[in-house]
């Protein structure tokens, strides 16, 4: 296996992620020839509709997975949060990279933090999860939809009369844009997307050569924490159409694993949140904790919230100026 082709989206962030994987592989196997193949996904093509209105099953991954199944690329690099919780039958995740900080961050004009924003301030986000949590904390805010890659969203924000915008910290770190951050939102209190901050490297099942090659990029703690979050999301049937978030972490002192999850309605008037903990027991133990958390929230009535959301259209975003 002297040549490999990585399937990737074409945004600056996606290319950074794929170049990161390429560089890591070449550092250990300098004899390899590794190229990138840019593939446009449905989510890249449709930029005039809210994410929740165009479906979320493989919105940013389906076309790349098709190229992988057809043998046009050898592996795919995804933001793990974009990958559906149920993979196509013939594909598998060979590695989950060491996770960047999974927190969301706020970029505020005039250095304002979330609590210091003026009453009625406009905040931009394309995520219903972020929208619900923003409104739960500040019901007076006006949340507007925004789409596009990181740089596009920043340009729209700078040109608008919005006072703040929410991003995943990981993307800003990878693109050297951390100087724009006004406030890091504690991921226990403002829950991130499931898998946020980690990269998933997807391959065809049975490709044992690639499994061996990619083992150096697989981080056990990251795989376990994201597995807990993703099984929680999968059990609730969540995605970008519903406000669901989770954050799993492992204590460095005693290797205890805790998983916090939340489900909210669209206007943030109802938010259910709970936490489960237990000794770290690898990926299987993490999955058990994620499932336990989902069952606890289901027992608290989160299914009714989810059904109400899926039976109605998401909140209509106000147009950007």
What tens digit of pLDDT does each residue of 90-106 get?
999 999 999 999 999 99
Does residue 291 lie in a domain region?
no
- φ and ψ at residue 286, rounded to 5 degrees: -65, -45
55 pLDDT tier (thresholds 50, 70, 90) = low
Tell which phi-psi region holds residue 27, choosing left (phi > 0), alpha (psi between -120 and 50) or beta. alpha
Q: What is the pLDDT of residue 317?
A: 42
Considering the chain, what percentage of its residues have pLDDT values greater than 70? Answer: 90
Q: Which of 28-42, 54-68, 107-121 has the lowest mean pLDDT?
A: 54-68
Q: What are the angstrom distances between the C-alpha of 265 and each of 48, 94, 158, 301?
A: 24, 35, 29, 12
Residue 52 pLDDT exceeds 60: no
312 pLDDT tier (thresholds 50, 70, 90) = low
The single-letter DSSP state of residue 314 is P
Does residue 309 lie in a domain region?
no
Does residue 123 lie in a domain region?
yes
- Give yes or no: 218 in active site: no
How far is residue 236's CA from residue 232's CA, in Å, rounded to a whole number?
6
Does residue 148 lie in a domain region?
yes
- How many structural domains does the chain have? 1
41 pLDDT tier (thresholds 50, 70, 90) = confident
- φ and ψ at residue 183, rounded to 5 degrees: -155, 130
Summary mean pLDDT of the chain: 91
pTM of the full predicted structure? 0.90
Catalytic residue among 82, 104, 145, 221: 82
61 pLDDT tier (thresholds 50, 70, 90) = confident
> 91 near 203, Cβ under 8 Å?
yes
For 59-85, b where at least 16 C-beta lie within 10 A, e where not — what string?
A: bbbebbbbbbeeeebbbbbbbbbbbbb
How far is residue 168's CA from residue 150's CA, in Å, rounded to a whole number?
10
Residue 321 pLDDT exceeds 50: no
**Can you give the CATH number for the domain in which 181 is found?**
3.40.190.10
Q: What is the span of the domain harbouring residue 171?
A: 104-193
Burial class of residue 274 in the structure, from the number of CB atoms within 10 Å of its CB (0-12 exposed, 13-18 middle, 19+ buried) = middle
Give the HSE-up count for residue 62: Cα atoms under 13 Å, Cβ half-sphere: 10
Tell me the per-residue pLDDT of 198-250, one tens digit each, with 9 for 90 and over.
999 999 999 999 999 999 999 999 999 999 999 999 999 866 678 999 999 99
Does residue 167 lie in a domain region?
yes
Tokens representing residue 157 in the block = 């924000």
> 161 near 110, Cβ under 8 Å?
no
Does residue 130 lie in a domain region?
yes
Q: What is the pLDDT of residue 320?
A: 41
Does residue 267 lie in a domain region?
no
Does residue 9 lie in a domain region?
no
């Amino acid at each position: 296996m002297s040549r490999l082709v990585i399937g990737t989206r074409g945004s600056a962030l996606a290319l950074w992620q794929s170049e990161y994987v390429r560089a890591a592989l070449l550092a250990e196997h300098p004899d390899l020839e590794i190229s990138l193949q840019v593939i446009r996904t449905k989510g890249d093509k449709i930029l005039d509709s809210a994410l929740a209105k165009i479906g979320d099953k493989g919105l940013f991954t389906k076309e790349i997975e098709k190229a992988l199944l057809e043998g046009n690329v050898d592996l795919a690099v995804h933001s793990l949060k974009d990958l559906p919780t149920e993979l196509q039958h013939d594909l598998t995740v060979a590695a989950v990279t060491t996770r960047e900080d999974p927190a969301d961050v706020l970029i505020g004009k005039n250095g304002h933090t979330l609590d210091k924003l003026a009453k009625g301030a406009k905040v931009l986000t394309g995520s219903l999860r972020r929208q619900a949590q923003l409104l739960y904390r500040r019901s007076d805010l006006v949340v507007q939809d925004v789409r596009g890659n990181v740089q596009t969203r920043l340009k729209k924000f700078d040109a608008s009369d919005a006072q703040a915008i929410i991003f995943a910290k990981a993307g800003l770190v990878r693109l050297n844009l951390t100087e724009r951050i006004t406030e890091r939102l504690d991921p226990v209190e403002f829950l991130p997307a499931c898998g946020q901050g980690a990269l998933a490297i997807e391959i065809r099942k049975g490709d044992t050569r690639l499994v061996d090659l990619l083992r150096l990029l697989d981080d056990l703690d990251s795989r376990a924490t994201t597995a807990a979050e993703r099984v929680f999301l999968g059990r609730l049937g969540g995605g970008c159409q519903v406000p669901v978030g989770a954050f799993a972490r492992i204590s460095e002192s005693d290797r205890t694993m805790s998983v916090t999850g939340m489900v909210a309605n669209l206007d943030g008037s109802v938010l259910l949140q709970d936490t489960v903990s237990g000794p770290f027991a690898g990926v299987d133990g993490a999955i058990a904790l994620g499932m336990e958390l989902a069952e606890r929230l289901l027992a608290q009535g989160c299914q009714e919230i989810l059904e109400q959301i899926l039976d109605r259209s998401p909140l209509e975003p106000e147009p950007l100026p």
